[in-house]
Amino acid sequence: MANRRLTRPRSRNGCITCKLRHVKCDEAKPECMQCQRSGRKCDGYDSASQTQLRQRIAERHRPLDRDMVGADHRLLLRQETGTERRYVEFFYGQSSSAFSGFYNSKLWSYLIPQLGEHEPSIRHAMTAIGAIHSRLQNPKLLTAGENSAPTDWFVIEEYNKSIQALTKSLSSANAGIDLTLTTCCLFVCLEMLQGNRRAALDHIEAGLQIIQRHDQSSPVNARQSEVYIELRSLFMRLNLQASFMGRLLVPLRHSPADIVRPGIPFTSLLQARSHLDQIMLKTLLFIRSVGIMREARDPAEQAAFEEKQEAARLEFTSWRWSLDKFLQRHGHTLTPSEICASLLLKIYYHTSLFWTLSVLCRSEDVFDDFITDFESVVSHAEEIVRITSTTPSSSAAAAASTIYPVTPPDNQPPHSNTVFSLEGGIIGPLYYTACRCRDPFIRRRAISTMLHYSKREGMWDARLYAAVANLVCEVEESKCLIPPTCAADIGSLDRVYEEVQPKELKSRPTFVVLYMKPQGVDGPWKMSSVMVDW
């Protein structure tokens, strides 16, 4: 009988490299001799089989399916410079909080940061935003040397990288609606931070057109991703802001889930904001349809406008009832941020209401009927400034060193140390109050609050709009023989009807065109251009 070959159980403790090469490993550590003799790199030891190892490698090289971008995709390790990581961390620590405003925004605190972990276009845009925002927040960096301050070239490079990455995704059909809209949103932020109003408005219009086309062509279940819902809500508010800067409103449809029946209290401040945004959008479309020319109308047209005006008034009244009921139930539990949010909602309620109720009147004297509303706007704004000025500066420094802060601590007000916020806040309503309210004390309080606030909210710069409002105040009061003491002291023929600024601010001082009716409502318009230094 032939000698049998003595067999032993096969060892599975060889190194990864020998397993994949199907060769016997001597299992020497830390590197086996087989790999050393063949000049190969020993990849260490793993108890997995050859088949399991090959499956892992195949899994690593499998392309990500990114047709529908979600925040739950896996995180990827990336090669970044220390500078790039520093500005991304600034975005996490301060930019996301500043962009959230007074609300707990899942979009900025979680969804966009998570998308940035695996989407290059978003990651590079976040880096550029962090660089610009850090320089805006810390102007001393500009004189501290190149190692501290981001250069314009660095921002441009990151911006271009973001555009190139998005273009690559679009060309390979891997860019879903969420990726495209998120990148567009970040481009809006970038242009706003750099003071490029026209470019920011162009990106807002592009985002709104994307939403409009998607809503019209996609089934309801394709519009239900968390990212899309949050971005759609944000762009609706940017739609309003762009309209105040001279762009046409895009009439977005309202989501049935966001509609609140009259007589039902709100369940949260976010719900109250969403509902007010919808009413404001619909009402602003009505106001734009009326126009600013203050022309006489035939009775039938006037009656049709008055019917729409009354419907808008009832909607605002119902909204205020729902907010008041919510505050009666939960007002004692509100944090400083939520108190500011509730005050801001009231500010926009008053501003929208007296704008709506005055739009059909041909004379500026109508605004003398809304002194109480103007007083409420200024008082609420002053309270917001007071609350946001009480946070110790150390808390902002602590937030900057945190990589993933979600919201400011509940016991501390937001915005105390930020010079920029993405969305409209108190500046727009204060500006409108200072220009339309002729009570000399209220309008001066509005101007003073803007100057003290001295921040930027989206495309609203407090210093610029305080200067323009002060110009209107001086022009109207220049005809008074003695300093005015009430709104009626400003004569009807001396009032400024509109003040128009250039669509793009390129320099200081800037031109402002004032529209007046010195011969009465039936007389011709008188326009005068004035240079305003701010």
pLDDT at position 58 is 55
Report pLDDT digits (tens) over 427-443.
999 999 999 999 999 99
The predicted pLDDT at position 2 comes to: 47
Average pLDDT taken over every residue of the chain: 84
pLDDT at 116: 94
The pLDDT value recorded for residue 298 is 95
Q: What is the pLDDT of residues 183-201, one digit of tens each?
A: 999 999 999 999 999 999 9
> Whole-model pTM above 0.85?
no
Give the three-class secondary structure for 45: strand
- Farthest CA pair distance, the chain: 132
Least confident of 22-36, 80-94, 484-498: 22-36
Name, of 218-232, 296-310, 417-431, the range with top average pLDDT. Answer: 296-310
Pairing mode, strands 420-421 and 456-457: parallel
Query: What residues contact residue 306 under an 8 Å CB cut-off, 6+ apart?
Result: 360
Give the list of residues 6+ apart from residue 103 with CB closer than 8 angstroms, or none: 269, 270, 273, 337, 341
Helix (H) or strand (E) holding 529: strand 526-532
Q: What is the DSSP letter of 499?
A: E
Lowest model confidence (mean pLDDT) among 54-63, 130-139, 420-429: 54-63
How far apart are the C-alpha atoms of 509 and 85, rounded to whole Å?
38
- Provide the pLDDT for residue 8: 56
Give the Cα separation of 328 and 341 in Å (integer). Answer: 15
Whether the pLDDT of residue 376 is over 80: the answer is: yes
> The domain 16-61: what is its CATH number?
4.10.240
The answer on pLDDT for 417 being more than 70 is no
The domain spans of the chain are 16-61, 73-253
Alpha helices in 194-298 (DSSP H): 197-217, 226-244, 269-290
| Cα within 13 Å of Cα(512), Cβ side | 23
Q: So what's the pLDDT on residue 52? A: 61
Which of 190, 64, 61, 171 lies closest to 122 in space, CA to CA? 190
For 267, other C-beta atoms within 10 Å of its C-beta total: 13
Task: Give the tens place of pLDDT for each residue, 356-366.
Answer: 999 999 999 99
Neighbouring residues of 522: CB distance < 8 A, sequence distance ≥ 6 = 296
- 297-335: per-residue pLDDT in tens? 999 999 999 999 999 999 999 999 999 999 999 999 999
| Residue 383 C-alpha from the chain's centroid | 23
